[in-house]
Chains A and B, each alone.
Chain A
Amino acid sequence: ETGVTQTPRHLVMGMTNKKSLKCEQHLGHNAMYWYKQSAKKPLELMFVYNFKEQTENNSVPSRFSPECPNSSHLFLHLHTLQPEDSALYLCASSQAGGTSYEQYFGPGTRLTVT
Protein backbone atom coordinates (compact mmCIF):
# COMPACT_ATOMS: atom_id res chain seq x y z
CA GLU A 1 0.00 0.00 0.00
CA THR A 2 1.15 3.50 -0.75
CA GLY A 3 -0.03 6.96 0.19
CA VAL A 4 -3.05 7.37 2.42
CA THR A 5 -5.68 4.64 2.63
CA GLN A 6 -9.14 4.80 4.17
CA THR A 7 -11.62 2.08 5.07
CA PRO A 8 -14.44 1.56 4.52
CA ARG A 9 -14.98 3.50 1.29
CA HIS A 10 -18.75 3.55 1.80
CA LEU A 11 -20.76 3.26 5.01
CA VAL A 12 -24.48 3.36 5.70
CA MET A 13 -25.47 3.52 9.33
CA GLY A 14 -28.54 4.18 11.41
CA MET A 15 -28.69 6.94 13.97
CA THR A 16 -28.28 4.52 16.88
CA ASN A 17 -25.31 2.63 15.44
CA LYS A 18 -21.68 2.86 16.44
CA LYS A 19 -19.07 2.59 13.70
CA SER A 20 -15.46 3.58 13.12
CA LEU A 21 -13.59 4.99 10.14
CA LYS A 22 -9.96 4.01 9.69
CA CYS A 23 -7.11 5.87 8.05
CA GLU A 24 -3.55 4.72 7.50
CA GLN A 25 -0.69 6.67 5.97
CA HIS A 26 2.39 5.03 4.43
CA LEU A 27 4.34 8.26 3.85
CA GLY A 28 6.28 8.52 7.09
CA HIS A 29 4.41 11.67 8.06
CA ASN A 30 3.85 12.80 11.63
CA ALA A 31 0.65 14.84 11.31
CA MET A 32 -2.80 13.53 10.44
CA TYR A 33 -6.15 15.21 9.84
CA TRP A 34 -9.85 14.51 9.52
CA TYR A 35 -11.94 16.63 7.15
CA LYS A 36 -15.64 16.64 6.34
CA GLN A 37 -16.94 17.53 2.88
CA SER A 38 -20.66 18.12 2.58
CA ALA A 39 -22.39 18.72 -0.73
CA LYS A 40 -21.56 22.13 -2.24
CA LYS A 41 -19.50 23.16 0.78
CA PRO A 42 -15.76 23.61 1.28
CA LEU A 43 -13.73 20.98 3.03
CA GLU A 44 -14.11 21.53 6.76
CA LEU A 45 -11.22 20.67 9.05
CA MET A 46 -12.40 18.56 12.00
CA PHE A 47 -9.32 17.38 13.88
CA VAL A 48 -5.53 17.70 13.69
CA TYR A 49 -3.01 15.36 15.29
CA ASN A 50 0.69 16.24 15.49
CA PHE A 51 2.97 13.50 16.75
CA LYS A 52 -0.13 11.60 18.01
CA GLU A 53 -1.31 14.57 20.06
CA GLN A 54 -4.55 16.33 19.17
CA THR A 55 -3.74 19.96 18.45
CA GLU A 56 -7.00 21.08 16.85
CA ASN A 57 -10.64 20.32 17.46
CA ASN A 58 -12.67 22.54 15.20
CA SER A 59 -15.79 22.67 17.40
CA VAL A 60 -16.78 19.18 16.34
CA PRO A 61 -19.76 17.57 18.16
CA SER A 62 -18.86 14.89 20.67
CA ARG A 63 -20.66 12.23 18.61
CA PHE A 64 -17.41 12.26 16.57
CA SER A 65 -14.50 10.89 18.57
CA PRO A 66 -11.01 10.72 17.03
CA GLU A 67 -8.23 8.37 18.06
CA CYS A 68 -4.59 8.42 16.96
CA PRO A 69 -2.73 5.42 18.45
CA ASN A 70 0.45 6.12 16.46
CA SER A 71 1.62 8.51 13.74
CA SER A 72 0.53 6.12 10.97
CA HIS A 73 -3.04 5.39 12.05
CA LEU A 74 -6.06 7.58 12.67
CA PHE A 75 -9.59 6.56 13.58
CA LEU A 76 -12.88 8.42 13.72
CA HIS A 77 -15.40 6.75 16.04
CA LEU A 78 -19.01 7.56 15.25
CA HIS A 79 -22.04 7.19 17.51
CA THR A 80 -25.62 8.49 17.53
CA LEU A 81 -25.08 10.45 14.34
CA GLN A 82 -27.69 12.64 12.66
CA PRO A 83 -28.76 12.58 9.01
CA GLU A 84 -26.99 15.93 8.46
CA ASP A 85 -23.71 14.15 9.26
CA SER A 86 -23.97 12.36 5.92
CA ALA A 87 -20.92 13.51 3.97
CA LEU A 88 -17.56 12.50 2.56
CA TYR A 89 -14.99 12.11 5.34
CA LEU A 90 -11.42 12.62 4.24
CA CYS A 91 -8.22 11.77 6.05
CA ALA A 92 -4.95 13.53 5.24
CA SER A 93 -1.35 13.49 6.43
CA SER A 94 1.63 15.80 6.24
CA GLN A 95 5.13 16.24 7.55
CA ALA A 96 4.94 18.66 10.49
CA GLY A 97 7.85 20.98 11.13
CA GLY A 98 8.80 21.55 7.53
CA THR A 99 8.49 24.67 5.43
CA SER A 100 5.66 23.44 3.26
CA TYR A 101 2.05 22.80 4.12
CA GLU A 102 1.13 20.17 1.58
CA GLN A 103 -1.29 17.58 2.87
CA TYR A 104 -1.84 14.24 1.19
CA PHE A 105 -5.37 12.93 1.16
CA GLY A 106 -6.94 9.50 1.19
CA PRO A 107 -9.86 8.62 -1.10
CA GLY A 108 -12.44 9.28 1.60
CA THR A 109 -15.33 7.40 3.21
CA ARG A 110 -18.79 8.23 1.87
CA LEU A 111 -21.03 8.13 4.94
CA THR A 112 -24.81 7.98 4.81
CA VAL A 113 -26.79 8.26 8.03
CA THR A 114 -30.35 6.95 7.79
Chain B
Amino acid sequence: DQQVKQNSPSLSVQEGRISILNCDYTNSMFDYFLWYKKYPAEGPTFLISISSIKDKNEDGRFTVFLNKSAKHLSLHIVPSQPGDSAVYFCAASASGTSYGKLTFGQGTILTVHP
Protein backbone atom coordinates (compact mmCIF):
# COMPACT_ATOMS: atom_id res chain seq x y z
CA ASP B 1 0.00 0.00 0.00
CA GLN B 2 1.64 3.20 -1.18
CA GLN B 3 1.04 5.92 1.40
CA VAL B 4 2.53 8.75 -0.66
CA LYS B 5 1.59 9.03 -4.31
CA GLN B 6 2.68 11.25 -7.15
CA ASN B 7 0.20 10.41 -9.85
CA SER B 8 1.87 12.32 -12.67
CA PRO B 9 5.00 10.50 -13.87
CA SER B 10 6.07 13.50 -15.92
CA LEU B 11 5.37 17.19 -16.51
CA SER B 12 6.54 19.41 -19.36
CA VAL B 13 6.57 23.21 -18.96
CA GLN B 14 7.81 26.20 -20.96
CA GLU B 15 10.56 28.31 -19.44
CA GLY B 16 9.16 31.25 -17.46
CA ARG B 17 5.82 29.55 -16.79
CA ILE B 18 4.63 27.95 -13.57
CA SER B 19 5.35 24.30 -12.76
CA ILE B 20 2.91 22.59 -10.38
CA LEU B 21 3.85 19.20 -9.00
CA ASN B 22 1.29 17.30 -6.97
CA CYS B 23 1.44 14.74 -4.19
CA ASP B 24 -1.29 12.87 -2.29
CA TYR B 25 -0.97 10.93 0.94
CA THR B 26 -3.20 8.53 2.80
CA ASN B 27 -1.69 8.31 6.29
CA SER B 28 -3.33 10.92 8.55
CA MET B 29 -0.42 10.56 10.99
CA PHE B 30 1.94 12.33 8.57
CA ASP B 31 2.69 15.81 9.91
CA TYR B 32 5.83 16.89 8.08
CA PHE B 33 6.33 16.97 4.34
CA LEU B 34 9.37 17.52 2.17
CA TRP B 35 10.22 17.95 -1.49
CA TYR B 36 13.45 16.68 -2.98
CA LYS B 37 14.97 17.23 -6.41
CA LYS B 38 17.16 14.64 -8.12
CA TYR B 39 19.43 15.05 -11.12
CA PRO B 40 20.77 12.00 -12.99
CA ALA B 41 23.81 10.40 -11.33
CA GLU B 42 23.27 12.43 -8.16
CA GLY B 43 21.48 11.78 -4.89
CA PRO B 44 18.24 13.59 -4.03
CA THR B 45 18.70 17.18 -2.81
CA PHE B 46 16.41 18.70 -0.20
CA LEU B 47 14.35 21.54 -1.64
CA ILE B 48 11.66 22.73 0.76
CA SER B 49 9.52 21.41 3.59
CA ILE B 50 6.31 22.18 5.42
CA SER B 51 4.91 21.27 8.81
CA SER B 52 1.26 20.36 9.17
CA ILE B 53 0.67 23.42 11.33
CA LYS B 54 1.12 25.55 8.20
CA ASP B 55 -0.63 25.53 4.85
CA LYS B 56 2.04 27.35 2.86
CA ASN B 57 5.81 27.73 2.87
CA GLU B 58 7.77 29.82 0.42
CA ASP B 59 11.44 29.90 -0.46
CA GLY B 60 12.37 32.02 -3.43
CA ARG B 61 10.84 30.55 -6.58
CA PHE B 62 9.54 27.51 -4.69
CA THR B 63 6.29 27.38 -2.72
CA VAL B 64 4.75 24.33 -1.12
CA PHE B 65 1.02 24.25 -0.33
CA LEU B 66 -0.57 21.79 2.08
CA ASN B 67 -4.26 20.91 2.13
CA LYS B 68 -4.68 18.65 5.14
CA SER B 69 -8.36 17.97 4.64
CA ALA B 70 -7.66 16.72 1.12
CA LYS B 71 -4.38 15.05 2.15
CA HIS B 72 -2.73 16.83 -0.73
CA LEU B 73 0.37 18.92 -1.20
CA SER B 74 1.77 20.70 -4.18
CA LEU B 75 5.02 22.34 -5.17
CA HIS B 76 4.88 25.48 -7.29
CA ILE B 77 7.94 26.69 -9.16
CA VAL B 78 7.66 30.22 -10.55
CA PRO B 79 9.21 31.09 -12.93
CA SER B 80 10.40 27.71 -14.19
CA GLN B 81 13.95 27.52 -15.54
CA PRO B 82 15.63 24.86 -17.70
CA GLY B 83 17.91 24.04 -14.74
CA ASP B 84 14.82 22.94 -12.82
CA SER B 85 14.53 19.91 -15.11
CA ALA B 86 14.92 16.95 -12.74
CA VAL B 87 12.95 14.28 -10.91
CA TYR B 88 10.96 15.67 -7.98
CA PHE B 89 10.04 13.49 -5.00
CA CYS B 90 7.67 14.32 -2.20
CA ALA B 91 8.20 12.67 1.16
CA ALA B 92 6.29 12.52 4.42
CA SER B 93 7.07 11.80 8.04
CA ALA B 94 5.00 11.13 11.16
CA SER B 95 6.59 12.64 14.26
CA GLY B 96 5.31 9.83 16.45
CA THR B 97 7.17 7.12 14.54
CA SER B 98 10.81 6.20 14.87
CA TYR B 99 12.95 9.15 14.00
CA GLY B 100 13.95 9.68 10.44
CA LYS B 101 11.44 7.47 8.73
CA LEU B 102 10.52 9.23 5.50
CA THR B 103 8.01 7.73 3.08
CA PHE B 104 8.63 8.80 -0.51
CA GLY B 105 6.45 9.11 -3.57
CA GLN B 106 7.58 7.59 -6.84
CA GLY B 107 8.66 10.89 -8.35
CA THR B 108 7.64 13.22 -11.18
CA ILE B 109 10.01 14.02 -14.04
CA LEU B 110 9.87 17.76 -14.74
CA THR B 111 11.15 19.02 -18.09
CA VAL B 112 11.41 22.77 -18.60
CA HIS B 113 11.80 23.74 -22.26
CA PRO B 114 13.73 26.91 -23.23
Where the two chains meet, the residues of A that have a C-beta atom closer than 8 Å to any C-beta of B are 4, 6, 31, 33, 40-43, 45, 48, 50, 55-56, 90, 92, 94, 96-97, 100-108
Contacts and interface: CB of A to CB of B under 8 A. Distances in A.
Contacts of B41: 107
Interface residues of B, number: 25
A10 to B, nearest CB: 10
Contacts of A100: 32, 49
B101 interface: yes
Contact of A42 (B34, B99, B101, B104): B104
B98 A55 contact: yes
Interface of B: 2, 4, 32, 34, 36, 41-46, 49, 89, 91, 93, 98-107
Given A31-B100, A45-B101, A106 B32 contact: no
A101 B30 CA distance: 12
Nearest to B48: A102
Contact of B45 (A45, A94, A97, A105): A105
B49 to A, nearest CB: 6
